Amino acid sequence: MALSLEYITSSLSNLYGTEVVTADIRAWCVMNDTTYNTVTRKLEEFKVGRGKWNFTVQDKLEQDYKAPAALPVIEQNLIPSKDDTFVKFGNYADIKKIIQSRLFYPAFITGLSGNGKTFLVEQACAALKRELIRVNITIETDEDDLIGGFRLIDGNTVWHNGPVIEALERGAVLLLDEVDLASNKILCLQSILEGKGVFLKKIGKFVQPKDGFNVIATANTKGKGSEDGRFIGTNVLNEAFLERFCVTFEQSYPNSSTEIKILSSSCSDQEFCKHLVDWADIIRKTFYDGGIDEIISTRRLVHIVRAYSIFSNKAKALEVCINRFDEETKSAFMELYDKVDVDFQMVDKESTTVVK
Nearest C-alpha neighbor of 322 from the set 314, 310, 333, 312: 333
Segments of the chain assigned E as strands: 19-21, 47-49, 52-54, 107-110, 132-136, 148-153, 156-161, 173-177, 198-200, 205-207, 214-219, 247-250, 346-347, 354-355
Q: Strand pairing partners for 250?
A: 110
Q: Which one is the CATH code of 73-250: 3.40.50.880, 3.30.360.10, 3.40.50.300, 3.30.70.260?
A: 3.40.50.300
Domain boundaries of the chain, sorted by first residue: 5-55, 73-250, 256-355
Amino acid, res. 44: E
CA distance 352 to 354: 7
Contact 105, 98 (CB under 8 A): yes
Q: What is the pLDDT along the chain (356 residues), one digit of tens a residue?
A: 567 887 888 888 878 888 889 999 898 888 888 898 888 888 887 887 888 888 774 444 444 444 444 445 556 789 999 999 999 999 999 999 999 999 999 999 999 999 999 999 999 999 999 999 999 999 999 999 999 998 887 777 888 999 999 999 999 999 999 999 999 999 999 999 999 889 888 888 899 999 999 999 999 999 887 666 566 677 889 999 999 999 999 999 999 999 999 999 999 999 999 999 999 999 999 999 989 989 999 999 999 999 999 999 999 999 999 999 999 999 999 999 999 998 887 765 544 444 43
Q: By C-alpha distance, which of 300, 298, 281, 314 is closest to 87?
A: 298
Cβ–Cβ < 8 Å for 302, 262: yes
pTM given for the model: 0.76
pLDDT at 346: 73
From first CA to last CA, the distance across the chain in angstroms is 92
